[in-house]
Amino acid sequence: MAKNEFKDSLKSQMLKRTLVPLTLMTIAIVAVSASIVKKSITDQMETELVRDAQMVEFIFDEFYVGDYRIEEDENNEPQVYKGDQLLNGEDTLMAKLSKIQNIDVSIFHDDIRVLTTLVDKAGNSAMGTKAAAVVKNDVIENGKSVFYDNVMVYEQKSFAYYKPILGEDGAVIGMIAVCRSGEDVQKQVVNYVLPVVGVCIVVAIFFGFIMVRFNGKIAERIYKMDRYMNKLANGEFDYEMPRELMTKDDEIKNLATDGKSMARAIKTLVEFDALTELNNRRSADKKLEEIRVRMADMGMKYCVCIGDIDFFKKVNDTYGHEMGDEVLRQVAGKLKSGMVGKGFVARWGGEEFLLIFDNRELDIAHRELSMILDAVRTIIIPGNEKQITMSFGLTAMVPGETTDEALKRADTNLYEAKEGGRNQIVCR
């Protein structure tokens, strides 16, 4: 069976079952790796931002004595003080800390930024912007310090840590916030994950290549096994088994071995006569076609002969079918041994036999056939010493004629041998 006759060949199925799981596994590894890396960086970011916030608060406490308070200037702009020290301004301690630590620091009055190092892409300060509602609820209203890994800070997703600021009376009056852009963290994740992705792809390609090659070889062996079995199904019992089927000591080799045994068994059933163990008429027809082609292509000479056991019906009627079968077996044995090295013999039907002499002139075939007839005459029916004889019609095949024409001439010769007294060869 041709490969393209399969809608879903075994090879394509094995490729799918190899590449799809491998691809899914690679995607899963990359996804899990990215998740683990992101979680690790997020945890690290939380630790760093908490530490940065604590450091900012510590430095402010060390440099500036007093509590935080917020007042408005003559322009109604909020001014942030710690004790008597004004924190607002461009060249402030907070700005320097922000630059050194690579973080953005904001101080909130309630949920409004009154002091910040945050700027947008155009360089505009985030002063006066509000914190997200969730931050206000968690930090201002509940008085908790909270870390966020995906909070909107000045219209940008960021990692941020908010710590409440307490006034003189201990009430929450605002917040200190330190944050880093989510884009920076995303870049870190990508930088960490890219090598993992590269390694996974290389490993997947390597193992994929090995698996595809291995599965391809198995699929190819199975395909050849299928082709071999189809040859047997079409009656080509002499088709040579591909050596690739026998290279591995595996199930395919066992199948091939069983197939070979089955081929021999089927060939015996299909091409051989069970009683005489000679080739049957089916295989004889194939042989006749082969020699016709050889005569046309190579100019080889052949002679064909049809032989019939004399008075065989009388043997059956007188001595029974068991004796008739025994006579057939003994005759077949004499014909088979007599044709060794000379050609081909088959049971043509009933008590008739076909003999094909290879590459012989008619006179040589006649001489050799006479020796075979003498051998048949040595067969004696036990009990009454009745001799078995045969009649033969022999003829030479003529180049260009059909096998049927040659067989008809041999059959006519056999008829003459029967009518002329049997136990003889008619040759022309």
Sequence-ordered list of residues with C-beta below 8 angstroms from that of 36, at least 6 positions apart, any chain: none
Q: For domain 275-427, give the CATH number.
A: 3.30.70.270
Catalytic pick among 62, 183, 289, 351: 351
Neighbouring CB atoms inside 10 A of 242's CB total: 16
Q: What strands, in cross-sheet order, belong to the sheet with 390-396?
A: 343-349, 352-358, 302-309, 390-396, 425-427
pLDDT tens track, the chain, 428 positions = 444 455 556 667 666 767 778 788 878 887 887 788 778 878 888 888 888 888 877 777 777 777 777 777 777 776 777 777 777 665 566 677 667 777 788 888 888 887 888 887 777 878 878 888 889 999 999 999 999 888 777 777 888 899 998 877 888 888 888 888 777 777 777 777 788 778 878 887 887 777 777 777 777 777 777 787 787 777 676 777 777 777 777 777 787 777 777 777 777 777 889 999 999 998 899 899 888 888 888 888 899 999 999 999 999 999 999 999 999 999 999 999 999 999 999 999 999 999 999 989 999 999 999 999 999 999 999 877 789 999 999 999 988 888 999 999 999 999 999 999 999 999 98
Superfamily (CATH) of domain 31-188: PAS domain (3.30.450.20)
Residues 300 and 343: their CA atoms lie apart, in Å, by 13
Distance of alpha carbon 403 from alpha carbon 410, whole angstroms: 11
The span from the CA of 323 to the CA of 318, in Å, is 9
Rounded to the nearest 10 degrees, what angle do helices 10-63 and 93-101 cross at? Answer: 150
CA distance 296 to 293: 5
Q: For residues 120 and 45, what is the distance between their CA atoms, to the nearest angstrom?
A: 22
* Amino acid at position 200, single letter: C
Beta bridge mates, 108 = 113, 175
pLDDT at 3: 44
| pTM exceeds 0.85 | no
Identity of the residue numbered 313:
K
Going from N- to C-terminal start, the domains of the chain cover: 3-12+194-265, 31-188, 275-427
Report how far residue 180's alpha carbon sits from residue 79's, in angstroms, rounded to the nearest whole number: 25
What are 309-318's pLDDT values in tens digits? 999 999 999 9
CB under 8 A, 24+ apart: contacts of 365-369? 365/303, 365/305, 365/394, 365/396, 366/394, 366/425, 366/427, 368/338, 368/342, 369/305, 369/394, 369/425
> Which tokens go with 212?
């595809």
Interatomic CA distance for residues 427 and 410, integer angstroms = 8
240: annotated active-site residue: no
